[in-house]
Amino acid sequence: MDGKIVLEEHYAVPDTMGGSAATINTSDEWGEIERRLLDLRSQRIEEMDAHGIRYAIQSLNAPGIQEILDVKEAIETARRTNDFLAGEIAQSAGRLGGFAALPMQDPEAAAAELTRCVAELGFHGALVNGFSQNVVEDSVIYYDGPEYRDFWKTVESLGAPFYMHPRTAVPSRMQPYAGHPWIRSAAWGFAAETSLHALRLIGSALFDECPKLQVILGHLGEHIPYDMWRIDHRIRKLPQGYPCEHPMSHYLKNNFHVTTSGNFCDATLACAIAGLGTERVMFSVDYPMEHTADGANWFDNAPMPESQRQAIGRENASKLFNLDLS
Residue environment code for 36-47, b if the CB has 16+ CB neighbours within 10 A, otherwise e = bbeebeeebbeb
| CA distance linking residue 154 with residue 213, whole number of Å | 10
Is 144 marked active-site?
no
Q: Based on the number of CB atoms within 10 Å of its own CB, is 172 exposed (0-12), middle (13-18) or buried (19 or more)?
A: exposed
Residue at 288: amino acid letter: P
- Residues contacting residue 149 through CB under 8 Å, at least 6 positions apart: 206, 209
> Is the CA virtual torsion 195, 124, 293, 129 positive or negative?
negative
- What is the signed CA dihedral for 225, 227, 229, 233, rounded to 10 degrees? -150
| CA distance linking residue 102 with residue 301, whole number of Å | 36
Q: Catalytic one among 150, 227, 232, 286?
A: 286
| CA distance linking residue 165 with residue 216, whole number of Å | 8
Positions marked active-site: 286
